A and B are shown apart, each in its own frame.
Chain A
């Protein structure tokens, strides 16, 4: 009942884009809490996306995190073509993987990943030809396809969320029978400092963004979509508006400029900013009538339908104080990070940290030669001085973490419960609501590792819930 009500309360978005300073008042286009860290985007935001040089090898991982494991369809020594399917998912959540290059499979076995784990992977040595597999053909007559058919094409193309989390897109698009969804929200906030990959896609390929958006609208059967963009990217807003005006067919797509404020790109916060709806704790966006997808995902969908390409390439921003010539690169997924850094003139000075993703939520990788994945939106290299971490001091209860938490939690207390291993307390203080945005750790003057502790508490609580369920089953 209640969600239908929320879903019907659609607010106009045309008046968005008012940047507003102040914590108490909440203009449209914003939310309470959050921070505005230095953006550090200027070194790449104006640079056109360049093609990647041919990598010496690509490493396609057979473990996709959220979406589970894959099983290889090729053997060592096989020749593969660009866009040829090389691995199929084991579970229902998973999506297949395709070869980003034409060449030879040189190894199938354990490879070190960006997370520091050893996972099964297919290593392919390119022949430099990039010969396209004949299965890669555009989809004709999209209009005649059913929702289920579109979703299954998206799944088959190996498309996952391109914002970093790599959540399989088809799962998001498969809604329960009783879900009443009225809006597709396309996430072009790109609120992480340094990253400009989505920004460049919106500026350079706005028509593909709009096209992908329209296909995604069909997939979930809505006639309204909003592309939410932070107002530090006026050129992207402009380009998208023009592309929408030119688009001949498809439903109503709008662009909403929202306040530049971290974590604006969090699904829940973008929904709040653009549509004024708050996703209740423990619920998903469709409970308030919304499905959210990234702009990169929309482009991947357009690539599949219009060019026949499965997800084998993505834009990555290679940047930071430790990179000689920061760039936006259209890379082949699975290229070792070091080769992309070398294309950017190599390291500048002594690299201290290499981060996959942005500085707020990205993961520091253990080695420069680990392979990129479908979720690698950035390769951020910090020089040694910038990488130094400071020893945490005691909590002085200043409340800065509480004040800035966009989920309005109390990170200091959660950390306290975690240290004392009081998991029930941690749960009662809503640890599971945490979106792991890192704002609390950023704000803490005592440099405490708050989000790290809360992630740990979440894992503990999850494990205990599972254990309790299993006990209950028996």
Chain B
């Protein structure tokens, strides 16, 4: 006398209250302070960029999935995350169509061609940025501007206010450095410098990061091992570690890109190795490479190493230590 109305499913019959759309929506919330800071410092073009990124990513996901007759997954918010990040890692004054195309590339090629959410090897937003700089190198790198509020700021005296160079570029060109760098700390912390749309304000980024940590969506393992490694390596090389930590995309990269679930190692040990690897690569590129900044390429290179890290950095299972004692 089977009661056909009863549901029979395997245990567990209770599930936690965090699901993937919630998670992704929380990442969007965590990115908002940095977006607001970007718009505050760089004006309306930044807002247009952010909207373009989201339109490009969400639109691409919708269209490609419709065309390939796959279930539409824009409801999981992950394309919105990618869209915001694409805009945030590009200069604020990049033409909107480049941002849209970068978003389309990030979603269409990097994410969906690899099999969709969970299967991509590379961080879509960073791959989108790499695509933009490769395709329109001039455009994508000349979009840097100094915030309007900069003029007359005391700390900036000696800096050409119309230059489009970021602090790291100036360091590379030898325009700054040598003397005390501490006059840059506060502007870099607040975001009052030239840089990518979403990377300049460490303060805004950290507010978002604290939210993600509080929601237990990320742990400190990757960001901390990454940032500490950069600080240590640059200090060993005789440069100002705090300047390196605050400038460029390090805070954005360490908290929001290197921690991307899909493209980072799955266990604790692997995550620390990954963070250290990113840190070493970033420092090497900044100190010796041809580019002033190395966060994006470091993370992309380490993304490729994730399957290997996952394979070799295995957690110590319950009882294992004692078994060898």
Contact = CB atoms under 8 A, between A and B. Distances in A.
Interface string B90-125: 000000000000000000000000001111000000
Nearest to B12: A438
Contacts of B318: 31, 268, 272, 278-279, 281, 406-408, 433
B57 to A, nearest CB: 16
B16 A37 contact: yes
A309 interface: no
B161 interface: no
B319 A280 contact: yes
A395 interface: yes
A387 B78 CA distance: 27
Contacts of B5: 351
B3 A6 contact: no
A280 B323 contact: yes
A452 interface: yes
B118 A360 contact: no
B315 A402 contact: yes
Contacts of B325: 2, 5-6
Given A37-B16, A355-B13, A397-B261, A410 B266 contact: yes
A267 to B, nearest CB: 12
Contacts of B76: 393
Contacts of A407: 317-318
Nearest to B117: A394
Interface range on chain A (Cβ under 8 Å from partner): 35 or more
B309 to A, nearest CB: 12
A420 interface: no
B2 interface: yes
Interface stretch (A230-238, A364-372, A461-469): A364-372
Residue of B11, B16, B261 contacting most chain A CB atoms (<10 Å):
B11
Given A281-B320, A445-B19, A394 B8 contact: no
Q: Interface centre among B13, B78, B314, B315, by most A CB within 10 Å? A: B13
- Interface residues of B, dominant DSSP: loop
Interface in A1-21: 2, 5-6
Given A353-B7, A394-B116, A283 B13 contact: no
B6 A393 contact: no
Given A366-B6, A399-B261, A408-B318, A393 B20 contact: yes
Contact of B11 (A112, A277, A367, A438): A438
Interface of B: 1-3, 5-16, 18-20, 22-23, 76, 78, 116-119, 217, 219, 261-262, 264-268, 271, 310, 314-323, 325
Given A280-B323, A369-B1, A403 B19 contact: no
Given A360-B12, A399-B261, A442-B16, A280 B320 contact: yes
A383 to B, nearest CB: 11
Interface string A345-387: 0000001111100011111111111000000000010100001
Contacts of A445: 16, 18-20, 22-23
A463 B143 CA distance: 63
Q: Which of B117, B264, B318 gathers the greatest number of chain A CB atoms within 10 Å? A: B318
B8 A433 contact: no
B310 A413 contact: yes
Nearest to B216: A400
B267 A364 contact: no
Contacts of A5: 325
Contacts of A325: none
Given A369-B1, A396-B117, A442-B15, A389 B7 contact: yes
A116 B9 CA distance: 12
A192 to B, nearest CB: 10
A394 B319 contact: no
Most B CB within 10 A of own CB, among A397, A403, A410: A397
B111 to A, nearest CB: 11
Contacts of A390: 15, 19
Contact of A361 (B2, B12, B320): B12
B118 A394 contact: yes
SS class, residues of chain A in contact with chain B? loop
Contacts of A365: 6, 8
Contacts of A441: 11-12, 15
A107 interface: no
23 contacts: A6-B322, A38-B14, A268-B319, A278-B321, A280-B323, A281-B320, A355-B11, A366-B3, A390-B19, A393-B76, A396-B20, A396-B23, A397-B264, A397-B266, A400-B18, A413-B310, A441-B11, A445-B18, A445-B22, A446-B20, A449-B10, A451-B11, A455-B10
A193 interface: yes
A38 to B, nearest CB: 8
A323 interface: no
Nearest to B3: A367
A430 B319 CA distance: 12
A112 B267 CA distance: 43
B125 to A, nearest CB: 15
A398 interface: yes
A400 B22 CA distance: 14
A104 interface: no
Which of B5, B264, B271 has its CB near the most chain A CB atoms (within 10 A)?
B5
Nearest to B320: A281
Contacts of A277: 322
B3 A368 contact: yes
Contact of B317 (A116, A395, A409, A451): A409
A403 B268 contact: yes
A254 interface: no
A363 B7 CA distance: 11
A112 B2 contact: yes
B2 A397 contact: no
A190 interface: no
Nearest to B265: A399
A216 interface: no
A258 B214 CA distance: 26
Contacts of B12: 359-361, 438, 441-442, 451
Contacts of A202: none
A389 B3 CA distance: 18
Contacts of B266: 397, 399, 402, 410, 412-413
A35 interface: yes
Contacts of B322: 6, 277-278, 280, 288
Contacts of A452: 10
A77 B22 CA distance: 61
Contacts of B317: 281, 407-409, 430, 433
Given A366-B3, A394-B119, A399-B267, A410 B8 contact: no
